[in-house]
């Protein structure tokens, strides 16, 4: 078994996230989230903001989930992504 030393950050980064979900019934829902990470001290990465929307549906035989996100990065190229999950 290997023991790893934990590093403790000197400063914490303020992070906030707000989300809301709308369940249509027990089998379907839509969830939206909006996280924000603020720059602190001499961090060169800058502020980061994101938005996400997730839609999930469930039936007797299958589960479906679709996610989309967009990240706005200060001083860097923005990122985005989509995901589809069928089970």
Question: CA angle, 45 as apex, 18 and 40 as ends, to 5°?
Answer: 70
Provide the token pair at 16: 């906030």
- pLDDT at residue 43, rounded to an integer: 67
pTM of the full structure: 0.60
- Give 3-state DSSP helix, strand, coil % of the chain, rounded to 5: 0, 60, 40
Break the chain into its structural domains and give their ranges.
15-86
Provide the token pair at 25: 């019934």
* Residue of 26, 87, 35, 34 whose CA lies nearest to 61: 87
46-72 pLDDT, tens digit per residue, is 788 888 888 888 877 888 889 999 988
């Amino acid at each position: 078994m290997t023991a790893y030393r934990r590093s403790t950050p000197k400063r914490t980064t303020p992070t906030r996230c707000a989300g809301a979900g709308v369940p249509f019934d027990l089998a379907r829902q839509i969830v939206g989230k909006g996280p924000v990470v603020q720059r602190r001290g001499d961090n060169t990465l800058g502020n980061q903001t994101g938005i996400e929307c997730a839609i999930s549906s469930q039936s007797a035989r299958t589960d479906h989930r679709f996610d989309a996100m967009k990240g706005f990065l200060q001083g860097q190229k923005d990122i985005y992504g989509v995901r589809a999950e069928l089970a």
